Amino acid sequence: MLSNASKYAIRAVLFLANKSSNTQKYGSKHLADSLEIPNPFLAKLLQQLSRAGVISSAKGPGGGFYLTDQNRQRHISDILNVIEKENVLHTCLMGLPRCGDANPCPIHHLAAPFMVELRKKFNVQTIDELANEVKENGTYLTLKGLDDL
Amino acid sequence: MLSNASKYAIRAVLFLANKSSNTQKYGSKHLADSLEIPNPFLAKLLQQLSRAGVISSAKGPGGGFYLTDQNRQRHISDILNVIEKENVLHTCLMGLPRCGDANPCPIHHLAAPFMVELRKKFNVQTIDELANEVKENGTYLTLKGLDDL
DNA sequence: CTAATAAAGGACTTTTTAGTCTTTTAATAT
DNA sequence: ATATTAAAAGACTAAAAAGTCCTTTATTAG
């Protein structure tokens, strides 16, 4: 459903949400290492997000990527809008062109409630809110360095 | 999550489940037209499924693809095993290598119940059972020819 | 002012997925 | 037997996604 690009971008932004600030920036290299994402590929994504104003960046020594308070009020869907061409949150998992309540595909009734919740999470929850959930619920953005695997 | 190939294959098999029999076979052309799938691409998929014994086929005049009673007892996951390289029903939607209850990704708690249900539908329900659901619940394998769009 | 740092930009390569085309083989009906 | 029908097989092309590399620009610390 989501491309690698989107998954990488979302994880990187949530990382920044929980760790960066105006005075604490992270280079793409650091992010790529922490999240186990190919660095040049991630750098491209960060560049796009920065250009679109979803995240912030500063060049030069001590520079890097970070989130401002403004950035934190944006939604995950803003990331998807930058990275993906079409709205992946509205595509049918069975590939039916116009799957919906009126013309459901064979798994529509199973998938629809989940998709509704996912859209809520990505469209209405702010990046800040989701990042806090990550912090408090003990969910992970990477499994790097975890020893209980 | 599912590739086009898998989506096409599932729809085609469900179509055959509800319309074909030992005496009523369908050529790839007919299926492709009915389901609005590129014919040569679908032909390849049907070929693979036939070789794997998930569906049946007969050459020559009056030939085509069809399901036997045996075929009908197989699962959707058998289709996926033929078409996809890895088990898409166990991949994390956020791309975490080992996402699970122990090490959940940020949307794991949202996605897990849905994935459990989806695995049930694809792993334990037979093709026959799902096809009957399609027939009875008025779900669709194609929207071709529907005028209420 | 200069050296070092790090993002921006853009061209490029590789891999995967999607889709096409042509030839061969098997079955059947006449 | 032969013409016809339709799947099997496999080589091929196209497009999209994923990933790399190199050069430029801006910033800052010395």
Question: B14 CB near a chain A CB, below 8 Å?
Answer: yes
pTM of the entire structure?
0.94
Enumerate the domain spans of chain A.
Answer: 4-88+126-148
Q: Could you give the 3-state DSSP secondary structure of residue A35? A: helix
With distances taken from each CA to the C1' atom of nucleotide C21, the closest residue turns out to be B40
Q: Is the pLDDT of residue B147 over 60?
A: no
Q: Is B149 a residue whose pLDDT tops 50?
A: no
Å between B60 CA and nearest CA of chain A: 31
Mean pLDDT value across chain B = 95
Q: Any idea which residue has 């105006």 for tokens?
A: A22
Distance between the alpha carbon (CA) of A41 and the C1' atom of C11, Å: 14
Nearest CA in chain A to B135: A106
What is the spatial distance between Cα A112 and Cα A119, in angstroms, rounded to a whole number? 10
Residue A119 one-letter amino acid: R
Tens-place pLDDT, residues A19-60: 999 999 999 999 999 999 999 999 999 999 999 999 999 999
Q: pLDDT by residue (tens digit) across B22-31?
A: 999 999 999 9
Q: Is the CB of A22 under 7 A from strand D?
A: no
> Nearest residue on chain B to A117, judged by CA atoms?
B110
Contact, A15 CB vs strand C, < 7 Å? no
Q: What local confidence, expressed as pLDDT, does residue A97 receive?
A: 82
- Residue range A67-81, pLDDT digits in tens: 999 999 999 999 999
Looking at the DSSP assignment, which residues form a beta bridge with residue B64?
A: B58
- Is A16 a residue whose pLDDT tops 50? yes
The upper half-sphere exposure of residue B144, i.e. CA atoms within 13 Å in the direction of its Cβ, equals 9
Pick the closest to residue B79 from B20, B121, B37, B116 (CA basis): B121
Cβ <8 Å between A1 and B1: yes
Mean pLDDT within B73-81: 98
Segment A99-127 shows an average pLDDT of 96
The tens digit of pLDDT for each residue in B88-145 reads 999 999 999 889 999 999 999 999 999 999 999 999 999 999 999 999 998 989 977 7
| Spacing of B63 CA from D2 C1' in Å | 19
CB atoms closer than 10 angstroms to residue A44: 15
Residue B97 is predicted with a pLDDT of 82
Cβ atoms within 10 A of the Cβ of A115, count? 17
Per-residue confidence (pLDDT) for residue B113, from 0 to 100: 98
B40/C23 CA-to-C1' distance in Å: 15
Task: Give domain B4-88+126-148's CATH number out of 3.30.565.10, 3.90.1520.10, 1.10.1500.10, 1.10.10.10.
Answer: 1.10.10.10
Q: How far apart are CA A145 and CA B67, in angstroms?
A: 49
Q: How far apart are CA A145 and CA B87, in angstroms?
A: 25
